[in-house]
Each structure stands twice: as C-alpha cells, then as structure tokens.
C-alpha cells in the first residue's frame, strides 16, 4: 500500500498491512495515535485536521484489502483514575533466548484485560506467538527471538467498538474498532503503547493483543524514527485468524516487502523501477537478462506454490508491475512467504539478531587459564545447522569445529611468550539466501587476544 500524508509532495512508501497500515511520520501528536474515528461515539471527541493518512484494511479474512484516508488526530483520552494499578507494567518473558543486544526482541502488550484477566492475556500472547512461529521462516529461526509480555491493566474488560460501534470501554491503550468508521480497523493510542513498550528490556517490534474475539487489526509501520522500533501491529487475542495479520505486517516492517495484490481500477503503472525487492517493472526475461531483483530465483519452486517468475499485478497495479509468485502471504491471508519474501525476512531477522554471540569479553587479554564460550542460533528443522569454526592466528583448528567452549590452555604451550589471536566464526548456510551481500550478514566472528 502507498502511505503518504495528503497534500505533501512525493515520498511514496510501500508499507501495507493486512488489516490496516498507518504511517506515523510527522504525526502532530506524538503522544497519541495518528488516527481517530470518523463517526462520533460516546466519550470519543474528534478533532479537526487537514492532514490525513492512507490506511489499508481487510474487511474479512478471505477478502482483498481496501484502503482509506484517516485523519491525523486522536480520540479523547478516557480517564483511568489516579495511581498505579497492581501489576500494571509488569514484564514477563515468554521466550528468552539470549541478551537483548544479540536477539530480535518482540514486545507483546495487552489491552482490555483487567487485573483478574492478566493470566488470559499471557495465554493469548503465547498463542499469538505460536501462530506467528507456525509460518516460515519464523518456524526455523525461533531461536533468534526474545518475546516479552508487558501487562497493561485496564479498568474495563474488552475494547471499544466490540461488539458494536457504540460500545466504549476504558482500557489502558485505548484500542478501538471502527477507527475512521471502518469496523475491522483496530487502532490504539501509540503514545501509551510506547510508554508500556519502554518497560521491556528492549523492543524491536511491538504487538498489541486486544481482549476481543472480533476479527481485525492494524499495522503501524515507519515508526522507527519516532519510536525506535520497526513497527506496531494490533490483533485480537481471541480471534484464530488474527495471527496472520501480524505475520503479514512483519513482512512490511521486518522484511521491507511491498504488497503483491492489486486493484483493477488502478490501471497501468507508469513509474520508475520500485525499490522494493518483491515488485518490478521487468518481465522474467528482462530480470534474467539484466540480472535484476529476484533473477537468482527464477524457475525455482516456491513455498507458496508454483515456481518463481514474474506475475503481472502487484503494488496495487494490475498492469505494469510484477510479483515473484502467484499467491504469497503478501497477497493473500493464510499463504506462505515466497522464496523472495523469505530471503527478505531473514535479512530483517539478522538486522537485529547476531549469528554468533559470547559472554566472554574481548576487552582483556586471555591467558592459558581462561576458556571461551560462544553461542550460535539453533535452527529448528533446518537441513544444515549454523557452522562454527575456530582459528588461531588465522589457521583453522579443525578438531574444534562445532565446539561451543574452548580452553585456551589446549591451544597455547605453557612457555609460549608470544601474543596470539583466537577467532570464532559462525555462518548460517541456509539455502533460503542467494544474495551474496546478504550472505555476508549471515556470518559473524569474534576475536580475542591471547597472551601470557
């Protein structure tokens, strides 16, 4: 989906979202969501504005999305009373795989859960993460993630707009359906989301799970400059299909992927070659001849079905833009990422997570009495694990391949007075990546100095 501020020049950004996508760039009120309901509701006063945002939404799990303009203003804040509610802001690790600096940290915040319903929030949060990790490449790369649940205690159970538009509930994050008059568009107060996300050890991606069984959601992309993390997704905790909303959203926020569907009324695309890795103006032959975009994958089978080629209709245009496969998750709910999308998702994963980590610092000189321990990601069900090799002064010690812990005394003789360099190198050999530049990101190394 194209996201822009109405009345502003150029600057088109591909950042669609399954249920809805909202750009927060230059929002006039950074302490609140850059959205409001287009129809008046009790206790939700609206504010006039001349700036709008284009948003995308799915009216049903099986339908193709539409988009609309949302005024850049926030609903009136509902009073939550004075004082801190017991348990409010508490952080619980759902998945903890390593230091935050070495992992991709996902923060899940609940809304519409009262103090007594916090156990249900934790259950819903775990189930949403299970839904997400049921889709590749999340399944294989679960070890790259930490997941933190942040308790946001609401005074009332449920969320506004559920089951009907006139329902208003006093919740911690002000989640509400019928945002801009669209039933399935589930918006939040991003200022409150930011304050709760800050309570977690780290946040690279934020998911708001609302206490509702109603289908719907939203995705806030392009928030890194304002909030410091890749995006915010909103989903319904009790809806079985809402996990797909979060998966598709991360295709935009983590994978930087464009939408692969189109609207017949958009006609022909006449612009320049898009920057997105999964849309192009080139035919399959032109991709191959020019070694452009996904040419390395042409003719290869793809997890979402069929083979990789150039299928006309993408980026909202039925003609003039091509997508890599017939029907990936960037086009239709319930599908898989195609091979081009998986490669892009791995680039996003490794943008935050590291293929090699160690608690043994490199600042001091190691002696024969020291040992070094490193850790590489465990790839669930992968054909080939992450390789681990050790080098002393640039020469591989083949007997130590795959060893997570090395005793320095085994490598250096007792009376050796020289200084040495001990290096550990890890590489993810996945066949899901063919771009040489990205393959370099899948390799990590750490070097220690060894002395007397």
The domain segmentation of the chain, as residue ranges, is: 2-253, 264-351, 355-450
**CATH superfamily of domain region 2-253:** Collagenase (Catalytic Domain) (3.40.390.10)
- Give the pLDDT score at 413: 87
DSSP for 358-381 reads ESS-SSSPB-TT-EEEEE----TT
Residue 58's pLDDT band (cuts 50, 70, 90) = low
Residues 11-56: tens digit of each pLDDT: 222 233 334 444 333 332 322 222 223 222 323 333 333 344 445 5
Q: What is the pLDDT of residue 240?
A: 84
pLDDT of 231 reads 81
Residue 299 has pLDDT above 90, yes or no: yes
What are phi and psi for residue 344, nearest 5 degrees?
Answer: -65, -35
**Band of the pLDDT at 224, cuts 50, 70, 90?**
low
Token couple for 265? 């009324």
Read off the tokens for 356.
């090699």
- The overall average pLDDT reported for the chain is 83
Angle at 374 between CA 348 and CA 428, to 5 degrees: 40
Is residue 19 within 8 Å of residue 216, measured between CB atoms? yes
How far, CA to CA in Å, does 153 sit from each of 90, 161, 263?
A: 10, 19, 41
Output the furthest CA–CA distance in the chain (Å, rounded).
82
| Domain 355-450, second-level architecture | Sandwich (2.60)
CB atoms within 10 A of CB 334: 12
Burial class (CB in 10 A: 0-12, 13-18, 19+), 50: exposed
Asked if 349 contacts 104 with a C-beta cutoff of 8 angstroms, the reply is: yes
pLDDT above 70 (res 268): yes
CB 388 within 8 A of CB 401: yes
* pLDDT, mean of residues 399-409: 96
One fold for both 2-253 and 355-450?
Answer: no
Binned at pLDDT 50, 70 and 90, residue 323 comes out as very high
Look up the pTM and report it: 0.83
The mean per-residue pLDDT over the stretch 290-314 comes to 97
Structure tokens at 83: 């004082």
CA distance 69 to 26: 16
Task: Place 66 in a pLDDT band, splitting at 50, 70 and 90.
Answer: low
């Amino acid at each position: 989906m194209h996201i822009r501020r109405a009345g502003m020049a150029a600057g088109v950004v591909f950042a669609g979202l399954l249920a809805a996508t909202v750009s927060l760039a230059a929002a006039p009120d950074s302490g609140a969501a850059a959205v409001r309901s287009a129809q008046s509701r009790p206790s939700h006063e609206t504010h006039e504005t001349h700036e709008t945002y284009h948003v995308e939404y799915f009216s049903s799990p099986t339908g193709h999305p539409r988009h609309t303009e949302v005024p850049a203003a926030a609903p009136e804040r509902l009073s939550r009373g004075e004082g801190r509610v017991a348990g409010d802001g508490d952080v619980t690790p759902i998945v903890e795989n390593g230091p935050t600096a070495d992992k991709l940290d996902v923060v899940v915040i609940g809304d519409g859960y009262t103090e007594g319903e916090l156990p249900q929030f934790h259950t819903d949060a775990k189930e949403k993460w299970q839904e997400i990790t049921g889709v590749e490449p999340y399944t294989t790369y679960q070890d790259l993630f930490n997941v933190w649940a942040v308790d946001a205690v609401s005074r009332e159970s449920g969320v506004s707009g559920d089951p009907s538009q006139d329902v208003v509930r006093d919740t911690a994050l002000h989640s509400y359906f019928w945002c801009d008059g669209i039933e399935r568009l589930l918006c939040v107060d991003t200022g409150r989301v930011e304050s709760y996300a800050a309570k977690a050890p780290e946040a690279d991606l934020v998911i708001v799970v609302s206490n509702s069984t109603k289908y719907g959601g939203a995705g806030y992309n392009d928030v890194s400059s304002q909030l410091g993390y890749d995006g915010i997704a909103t989903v319904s905790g009790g809806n079985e299909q809402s996990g797909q909303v979060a998966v598709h959203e991360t295709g935009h926020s983590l994978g930087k992927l464009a939408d692969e569907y189109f609207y017949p009324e958009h006609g022909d695309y006449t612009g320049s070659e898009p920057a997105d890795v999964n849309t192009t103006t080139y035919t399959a032959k032109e991709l191959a001849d020019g070694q452009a975009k996904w040419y390395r994958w042409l003719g290869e089978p793809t997890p979402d079905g069929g083979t990789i080629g150039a299928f006309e209709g993408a980026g909202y245009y039925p003609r003039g833009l091509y997508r890599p496969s017939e029907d990936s998750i960037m086009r239709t709910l319930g599908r898989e990422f195609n091979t081009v999308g998986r490669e892009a998702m791995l680039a996003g994963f490794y943008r935050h997570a590291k293929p090699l980590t160690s608690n043994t610092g490199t600042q001091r000189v190691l002696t024969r009495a020291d040992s070094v321990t490193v850790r590489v990601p465990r790839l669930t069900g992968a054909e080939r694990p992450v390789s681990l090799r050790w080098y002393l002064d640039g020469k591989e010690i083949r007997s130590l391949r795959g060893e997570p812990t090395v005793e320095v005394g085994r490598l250096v003789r007792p009376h050796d007075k020289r200084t040495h360099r001990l290096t550990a190198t890890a590489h993810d050999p996945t066949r899901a990546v063919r771009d040489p530049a990205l393959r370099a990101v899948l390799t990590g190394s750490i070097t220690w100095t060894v002395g007397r």
